[in-house]
Amino acid sequence: MSEELYLIASPNSSPSGLLRGFDLINARTPVAAVLVERGGLSEKAYKDHAKALIPHLQAAGTAVLVEGEPGLVRLLKADGLHVTGGIKAVEEAISALKPDLIVGVGDSRSRHDAMQKGEAGIDYMMFGPLYGPLTEDAREMAIWWAETMDIPAVLSNPEAALEAYDALGCDFIALTLPALEAGA
């Protein structure tokens, strides 16, 4: 099975630039999912940012995930939630959103932590950062998960180039969605 593309939309880029970048990539390689990263945005700024992206991305057939609380998913009409908290946050998201919406998880610090979250009923497990370089620990965890678990693995390697990356056997490769500003 070939890996699918999962893009991370930075909160530091304009929605119009992100959508131009998305359209360019999606025309070459279908994008399975986009995570609208919250970063340091206020709640209102994040909602505005996400609302500017979600309809266009969904119209292209791409699943859109947001960060935050489960209620935000329905409010923004997103396809799911990317949870970075502990097991309690994962269980709350699953209770509120499953089976209709996606619940994905990142930020697992150990194999035990990852397995505990996986057993809760998540849809995917992401290994690696949302920005910055992929660490060797995250790389090893992703390979282990992809080889031993049935829940899809996402390898997040934001600094990898679209033309040259290694998904290490994971089901999805997460890369930074480039923002193409007007005139770029």
pLDDT beyond 80 at 1: no
106-144 tens-digit pLDDT: 999 899 999 999 999 999 999 999 999 999 999 999 999
Dihedral (C-alpha) 160, 165, 169, 172: value to the nearest 10 degrees?
Answer: 60
Boundaries of domain holding 132: 4-176
Has residue 184 been placed in a domain?
Answer: no
CA distance 68 to 38: 8
Q: Does an H or E element contain 126, and which?
A: strand 124-127
Percent of the chain whose predicted confidence (pLDDT) is above 90: 93
Mean pLDDT of 59-66: 98
Residue 67 sits in a domain whose CATH number is: 3.20.20.70
End-to-end Cα separation, the chain, in angstroms: 35
Has residue 46 been placed in a domain?
Answer: yes
Has residue 120 been placed in a domain?
Answer: yes
Residues in the chain: 184
pLDDT beyond 90 at 184: no
Has residue 159 been placed in a domain?
Answer: yes
Has residue 181 been placed in a domain?
Answer: no
Has residue 182 been placed in a domain?
Answer: no
Q: Domains in the chain: how many in total?
A: 1
pTM of the model as a whole: 0.96
Mean pLDDT of 51-73: 97
Non-local CB neighbours of 96 within 8 Å, separated by 6+ positions? 70, 71
82-99 tens-digit pLDDT: 999 999 999 999 999 999
Cβ proximity of 168 and 141 under 8 Å: no
Which SS3 state, helix, strand or coil, does residue 155 take? strand
CA distance 42 to 44: 6
Has residue 183 been placed in a domain?
Answer: no
